[in-house]
Structure 1
């Protein structure tokens, strides 16, 4: 990248790569904090322009984006990682809130600590720390896989945001934010696949640890007070881990196993090949723009599962019917936004394609037709 002196009230050195001067007529260069705004006229359509100029800016440490404004075309260059200085207070607050919510849900719902005991002795919540560690461990490992891959490729990614919730797990999962343009299909694939791979490794470890611990039996008073119970059925991967360890993965297990179940189910949902989900990023990188055809089939497939459970099996499986119907609607919504569009559309090599196929195959072992049902 070449640098050039730009005149003004305070003469400063700004990046002016050769590709920019070739494909974009620069009339003015302005500084807006740590951002540099190039005002002028693009000689190419937006995507073609970014494909030409983004690599040079990226090599120099900048993300670049295009905006059409009343004063003309504007390219905005922002240093990698800008805006991340200081303590990420929102991430910290959300993490602490989720620790509290998972401790409460774990103690009350999975360790069967009476609400009166929790009210009188709040520190009793700490009894559920293994459940909290298991659930947050698999979720954060998944998101930190994305974060590490993003930093490796120089993509501006945030630290994970963990979302607190109530029953049954105390959380709705975790997300990261990606800002700026995705430099290439390789980067998009690596960032997309890193989360499921890291999360599945953590899930297998957590599940194995949970199965090695003694089950937490349901107290008699809980059985007397409730004639119906929520059952989380075992996906094939969980059953295979239990068989390999010679352990029973029946209805009564240690709450740490639930962390493994959460990791498997969240991995399965994240691998749906649609929108901004991990599977959407991976298939966009693997298939190119043909990914949109595959994504359009996903909502219908999820609605078909819900319809099959409701109209064919019809055995009181409304919880799973509602679950698949909800994800059908969610997939329909995010399909309109589409996945990230990389600047460099160079195809992936066979090693990455093989990793992608293997990851989807591993994710398929987390699928089960009836994830949850009420019995009794």
Structure 2
């Protein structure tokens, strides 16, 4: 299918074009090739010298927006957004063909839905309007299923309320929620399908997201987003502790910092394990040294756990061809920042949390 053929008013095309696409900010005109710096006449889409697609950065923004719409099952708007990309691609390029093929797949989805609706209308007869009404109410039904997030949150909160009082229980559960929301926001930012957090009382929580085919850098970015949001929570607790001279907020600050550091241990399904996929062996050894140094300064066993797990990953784990400097920087900063929070908030976990029951 060519870009010209996409302009025909087939039923699927008309249905899709009636939706609203995301309006991407217009690209700034480029007069020199970003790759070889060759001067380009106005309107050039591909460099005649190095054959680079000139507006590749703008096309990436369009593709990201369309992927986010597809992740939300907004197929009509996604189709319209993909069509914007064709104006920035040479008509005979392989990239234009790929976009056209993808739009054709969306059209096929529309046709399939129309055919399925026609078949069910014939089968259900007079009951068809009722069935289609219930189908349109799927958003409401979906919201009902989202209640499992709320129920699991309340059950988790109930466990810690019973153990340490409602104030600490609510603060601790909220800290875990903010950690998981970090994963949720990062995954949505990359246009991935992601579910709301699910809490497992007494154990923890997790966010299910679907990452087939993503790069190790994106994988590490989503993994480290949880501890990064957790760091903000711990900083907030420390600030409140000093403002109100509160032992409760000090305990929450320490607990939040410890929780997020524990998630950086690179074993099993913890965040540190997925973040480590983007690090080469040298970076892993540097993190081992950092963790051992922090243990020597703070005497917190969680740093030894991180060092031990990172040692195993450095010796046995696979190493990427192109390591991520960003993942290394964020991982290191999290170690120091969360360690500083633990130093600023004395270890109250060995004390009596009964003080928070009143």
TM-score by length of 1: 0.43
> More strand by proportion, 1 or 2?
1
Larger Rg: 2
TM-score by length of 2: 0.45
Q: Which has the higher contact order (CA 8 A, sep 6+)?
A: 1
> More helix by proportion, 1 or 2?
2
